[in-house]
A = this chain, B = another copy of it.
Amino acid sequence: MQIIRTRSEMHSFSALHAGKIGFVPTMGYLHAGHISLVERARAEQSVVVVSIFVNPAQFNDPKDLEKYPVDLDRDFAMLEKAGVDAVFCPARSEVYPNGVPALRMSYDEVMNRLCGAGRPGHFEGVLLVVHNLFMWVRPQRAYFGLKDYQQYLLIKRMATDLELGVEAVGCPLVREADGLAMSSRNVRLTAAGRVAALAISKALFAAAELWRKGETAAAVQAALNSLLTPLQVEYALICDADSLATVLPGAPRPARVVIAVAAFVDGVRLIDNVLLT
């Protein structure tokens, strides 16, 4: 497994494997969710590149950036075992040699909803870094977990709208045995927080079940709110899965909905969702 630190090395590698690269961009501190993306990439492309870069441009809270867990040796071992061909882990100065650019890439409507409402500038930072990672890695396909559903939606649109020649593939959210959505942030939970956090997936599963049974948006929303009462909720919403617009009481049921939650447990921001199609 090749470890690549600079943009120019990355360019040489991608030129050599043009048209064959499956790419998994990550911020490191990997878990089984990431490895499932690597496995999908391996099944579909002959060369697999994973990037590890904790992107300062997407952290609206500097404390969250500071606390983001890092363990490169452990990540490298996991990726080597998973059969990855190259890991691109550039320094910040390599990605942003002149600091974070002032260029903002935005989808005003989709971006300001859900996570975008509480994290101003977050998705602009995500789109910027993913765009540039695509330029360096030049993948055929790139794989994203549907846990970050809004992120996936925005990246997929950007890849199409900016003619990046990359197919963004959304892959199923991976959960712990008890239902908690896997996240690099879970390691920051206390034992009690770890138990409390289960309320998120439980509330989502219950809401999804009610929705499938044909309950109204208002009824599902009420159940969701009630089940999440013990937590500090940032949002808990039933949304059209394409526009992310909230499904209003009495409005027609969209063909595809996503029920999405962001909540704080032990001061750790956790997100989760269920996609109903």
Contacts and interface: CB of A to CB of B under 8 A. Distances in A.
Interface string A107-133: 111100000000000000000100110
B162 A103 contact: yes
Contacts of A102: 107-110, 157, 161
Contacts of A163: 7, 131-132, 135-136
A135 B107 contact: no
A164 interface: yes
User: What size tier do the contact residues of chain A reach?
Assistant: 20 to 34
A230 interface: no
A254 to B, nearest CB: 19
Interface of A: 7, 101-110, 128, 131-132, 135-136, 157-158, 160-165
A103 B161 contact: yes
- What DSSP secondary structure best describes chain A's contact surface? helix
A51 B277 CA distance: 42
A105 B108 contact: no
A132 B160 CA distance: 10
B109 A161 contact: no
B106 A162 contact: no
Nearest to A163: B135
B101 A131 contact: no
Q: Top 4 nearest A-B pairs by Cβ distance?
A: A101-B161, A135-B163, A103-B161, A132-B163
Contacts of A108: 102, 104
B132 A101 contact: no
28 contacts: A7-B163, A101-B157, A101-B160, A101-B161, A102-B107, A102-B108, A102-B109, A102-B110, A102-B157, A102-B161, A103-B105, A103-B106, A103-B157, A103-B161, A103-B162, A104-B104, A104-B107, A104-B108, A105-B105, A106-B106, A128-B161, A128-B162, A131-B162, A131-B163, A132-B162, A132-B163, A135-B164, A136-B163
